[in-house]
Amino acid sequence: MSLQTQPPATSPTAAPDSPSLSRILPAYWPALLTALVSLTLCIALAWMRHGQTLAAEEAQVQQELNALRSRLEAVAQTTFAPTLGLEALIRLDGGISDARFQAMSSQVIRLLPHVRSIVAAPNDVAEFVYPLAGNEAVYRLDYRSIPRQYEQVQLARRLGQPLLVGPVQLVQGGQGLIQRVPVFLPRPEGQAPQYWGVISVVADLPRFMESTGLANRQDLRLGLYHTGQPAERLGAVIWGDRSLPQRRPVLQTVNLPGAVWTLAAVPAQGWSQGPSWRSIETALAVGVSLVLTWLAGLLVYRRRLLVSHNRALAEEIAHSRQVQSALDAEHARFRSLTELSTDWVWEQDRELRLSYISRPAEKASQVPSQALLGMKRWESPALVPGVDWAAHQAMLERHEAFRDFEYAHYAGDGSVRYVSVSGTPFFDANGEFAGYRGTGRNITAAKQAEQALIESQAALTETLNRLQAILDSASEVAIIATGLDGRITVFNRGAERMLGYNEREMLGRYPDFLHRREEVRQRAVELSAELGETIQGFDTFVAKARVLGSETRVWTYLRKDGSALDVSLTVSLVRDRGGPAMGYLGIARDITEQRQAERALVQLNAELEDRVSSRTIELTEAMHTLRQAQDELLRSEKMAALGSLVAGVAHELNTPLGNCLTTASTLEERTREIQAEFEGTGLRRQHLADYLRDAGTAASILLRSLSTSTELVAHFKQLSVDQTSSQRRVFDLASALDDVLSLLRPRLRTTPYQVVCEVHTQRPLDSYPGPLGQVINNLVLNALLHAFGGRKHGRLSIRADELSPDWLLLVVEDDGVGMSEAVRRRAFDPFFTTKMGSGGTGLGLNIVYNIVTGILGGQIELSSEPGKGSRFTFRLPYVAPQLSAKAEERAHDPRPVPKPPNS
């Protein structure tokens, strides 16, 4: 029985009556005005952001273009600088020999591979050409026969300074850049210099641009143009994208030796087009506008709802009082009905403590209800152990309904009472969990009857189950029992599965039809000869069992479908407790797969021998291929080292030679002034003293710069001989280390890292300076790539100390990122690298290991921890061990080999 109540006519959240659209719009004018103003601001913000984006893009391109311009000017200065040296030499000597021209030009071509040729043309006729191979068409070419090139020569002669022209279709083929440098021989004072001829340097345009790095930029569309009139306009294109003048490019003026050109660039994807409506700022502005509009509309809407809600609130309070009165009456009626039932009613609060138990519970359990109120059900001290209360508690925590949960407790007289309870959760008006309500009943009598029935059934079926279990559990084997006369009495499920016959078909039959007749006849003959009596029929299967008690033999069974299978059949003689024979028991196990596996194993052994032979051939070919790959990698690393060496020497020689050229030109100018003053009105003593002082300073600068150049060349020559020949000699360790580091300094200057070298040994080494230099070179490059990669500072120290009269200690240590234990253990393995794809081959440290432990006769130890840097410790003898010719050849070839374990 329940009380039915009617819902209120109006809920507190009911919306006001829907008015017409003409009345809504005037009411919401603040929201509409907010939306209009916000939209205007969003559009203005988007266009302003577009302007900022364009300015940022132009600034970025301007910055990158400035770096490219500097690089282009530097490469051009390096490329065309040799012509100034040739010009100065011809002016001083009045000409140049072919041998001297070839020697100087060969050095330039070797250092600058993008220079195609150098031509010296006395009287505008190409008498000197290097290289001559591939440039035969230029040799003895009279520029006057080619009007376009002769115009360039005449223009350079009139200007009296270098002239750079491009692009030019070369006589040798291809496009290039040509610098024309007129050469004038000095004459006595008052006479114009004598025109000697012109020196031309031809640079391959594609390779020249590739050396500047402009050809490899994927993020910019670049072009090199002649400077137009006015300078903001672009002239004819020299190299690059021809469409840049129509794309609003960023321009940079490039000052080259003999020309002033313009470098233009735009982003590869073009400039931003129009405002981006998907930018974060625009999206944020639109979002804020929508929020402001929504808030304005919400305020109007809330104000209109307020009156309606106040009116509905009064009605709701009156209705709630009526519902509460009806619920109180319903609750009283329910309690009176539960007092009359044999089952009882219970209730738990939100903490699952019993808050109500009806009176029938006391009669059924003989436990006062007051003793259990306020207690959780599983906290009762009278509970009988053995119930899974944890699962019941988990179900209650999930607020799930449950039925017929059974448990037991001790009654007041000490007896055990069984109880079954069912319950469902209930919730308050806000949907919050309020507890459980349910019913309970006494099931003690049913439990006692059930227990008695179980015990009687268990005793009755125990014997049958034991025997049946023996037969049924043997489903993988066939069990066939016969009497003494040979008729089948037992045929288990395993036999049914194995042979395809059912038990009803087999009982009372002889088992001989399950075998092949030829196999049975052959076995009968064997037994007859063995036992000395005639064996036939059923005795063929049981004769040995009668004598020995059991026999196991392989037979062939025939299934019901005619197929055959191999079985291992064990036949045993069965006796009763008194001893007389009762019959025979046969247990058959299917060994078909085993026999097939044995046959397959024989075949597999034969195939395996063929595979081993074939695999041996494949491994031999793979080893040969791997050896070739290793040779190619070593050749690549040597070529890379040679390139780095040449670049370093060229960079170091550029400064002193530039100083010499500047000083010599200044001295020449001062000499002309003094000579003019001497031949003119008269030479003053003070001017002569100033000239002599300047001449002495210039001579000092020339001597110092030429000494530096001579020293660098000597270091380069010695180091190149050491690293290419691996010859043994006596050398000073400090000098050898300084030679290696001097060629690495150009690269180190471009990094924020510091290299410190300290040598505390006085005794010279009788060893191999080339391999030792390669060890130091590999360790420095390895530190730059791995130890300091991505860092803004770092320190690499090289320290040598005397360890004993015959040994020295060389330590190379950095404060970089260090190595984990796993990386440290594999650091010397060939082809192992943590920078795969960054240019490394994984051979650097393996080559170091092979050189130190091989040709140098030393020992190496590596210690490192993450974040604490790495330390390479070398123990080297002052006198390297003498090697046989074959061993020395093997030591000179630092081919990757596996390092010994735990090294």
Whether the CB-CB separation of 702 and 664 falls below 8 Å is answered with yes
Does pLDDT of 788 surpass 50? yes
Would you say the pTM of this structure is higher than 0.85?
A: no
In this prediction, residue 740 has a pLDDT band, given cuts at 50, 70 and 90, of confident
pLDDT of residue 667: 81
Strand partners, 734: none
pLDDT 10s digits, 771-782: 888 899 888 888
Give the pLDDT mean for 131-159: 87
Give the pLDDT mean for 564-588: 88
Name the residue with tokens 């032979």: 613
**Residue 786's CB: how many other CB atoms inside 10 A?**
23
pLDDT of residue 425: 94
Give the pLDDT mean for 605-614: 84
Three-state secondary-structure class, residue 450: helix
898: left (phi over 0), alpha (psi -120 to 50) or beta: beta
Q: Which of 503-507, 663-667, 676-680, 746-750 has the highest mean pLDDT?
A: 503-507
pLDDT of residue 228: 74
pLDDT of residue 335: 65
Interhelix angle for 685-725 vs 733-749, to 10°?
110
Does pLDDT of 6 surpass 50? no
Distance CA 847, CA 745 (A): 23
Does pLDDT of 260 surpass 80? yes
Helix or strand run (H / E) with residue 439: strand 433-442
pLDDT 10s digits, 27-64: 677 777 777 887 888 787 777 877 777 888 888 888 88
Comparison of pLDDT for 576 and 432, the residue scoring more: 432
Q: What percentage of residues in the chain have a pLDDT greater than 90?
A: 16
Q: Which two tokens stand for residue 856?
A: 């140098």
Least confident among 1-10, 326-335, 722-731: 1-10
pLDDT of residue 627: 66
Give the pLDDT mean for 191-201: 90
How many CA atoms lie less than 13 Å away from 768 in the CB half-sphere?
26
The two beta strands, 794-802 and 753-759, are parallel
pLDDT 10s digits, 197-241: 999 998 988 888 888 888 888 888 899 988 877 766 788 888 888
In this prediction, residue 651 has a pLDDT band, given cuts at 50, 70 and 90, of low
In this prediction, residue 635 has a pLDDT band, given cuts at 50, 70 and 90, of low
pLDDT of residue 277: 65
pLDDT of residue 411: 81
Does pLDDT of 898 surpass 50? no
Angle, CA 587 vertex, CA 570 and CA 529 arms, to 5°: 30
Does pLDDT of 761 surpass 70? yes
Whether the CB-CB separation of 215 and 194 falls below 8 Å is answered with no
Least confident among 357-371, 461-475, 665-679, 862-876: 461-475
In this prediction, residue 339 has a pLDDT band, given cuts at 50, 70 and 90, of low
Does pLDDT of 426 surpass 80? yes
pLDDT of residue 10: 44
Distance CA 79, CA 294 (A): 69
Dihedral pair phi/psi, residue 574, rounded to 5°? -100, 130
Least confident among 251-255, 382-386, 651-655: 651-655
Helix or strand run (H / E) with residue 852: helix 844-853
Does pLDDT of 629 surpass 70? no
Whether the CB-CB separation of 272 and 57 falls below 8 Å is answered with yes
Give the pLDDT mean for 727-736: 89
Distance CA 171, CA 149 (A): 11
Q: Is 122 exposed, middle or buried (0-12, 13-18, 19+ CB in 10 A)?
A: middle
N- to C-terminal Cα separation, the chain: 90
pLDDT of residue 730: 92
Three-state secondary-structure class, residue 475: coil
Q: Is 610 exposed, middle or buried (0-12, 13-18, 19+ CB in 10 A)?
A: exposed
In this prediction, residue 833 has a pLDDT band, given cuts at 50, 70 and 90, of confident
Does pLDDT of 896 surpass 50? no
In this prediction, residue 469 has a pLDDT band, given cuts at 50, 70 and 90, of low
Least confident among 74-88, 223-237, 333-347, 566-580: 333-347
Q: What percentage of residues in the chain have a pLDDT greater than 70?
A: 84
pLDDT 10s digits, 282-318: 777 777 878 878 887 777 777 778 767 877 887 888 7
Does pLDDT of 711 surpass 70? no
In this prediction, residue 191 has a pLDDT band, given cuts at 50, 70 and 90, of confident
Q: Is 77 exposed, middle or buried (0-12, 13-18, 19+ CB in 10 A)?
A: middle
In this prediction, residue 171 has a pLDDT band, given cuts at 50, 70 and 90, of low
Give the pLDDT mean for 700-726: 64
pLDDT of residue 12: 42
Q: Which of 272-286, 301-315, 569-583, 620-634 has the highest mean pLDDT?
A: 569-583
Q: Counting runs of H as helices and runs of E as strands, what totals does the chain give?
A: 21, 26
Does pLDDT of 366 surpass 90? no
Give the pLDDT mean for 170-194: 84
Give the pLDDT mean for 874-887: 80
Q: Which two tokens stand for residue 620?
A: 């031999």
Strand partners, 225: 237, 262
pLDDT of residue 72: 86
Instruction: For the chain, give the mean pLDDT.
Output: 81
Distance CA 302, CA 297 (A): 9
Give the pLDDT mean for 353-379: 79
pLDDT 10s digits, 801-828: 999 999 999 999 999 888 988 888 888 8
Q: 3-state SS string over 278-342?
A: CCHHHHHHHHHHHHHHHHHHHHHHHHHHHHHHHHHHHHHHHHHHHHHHHHHHHHHHHHHHHCCCC
Distance CA 250, CA 263 (A): 8
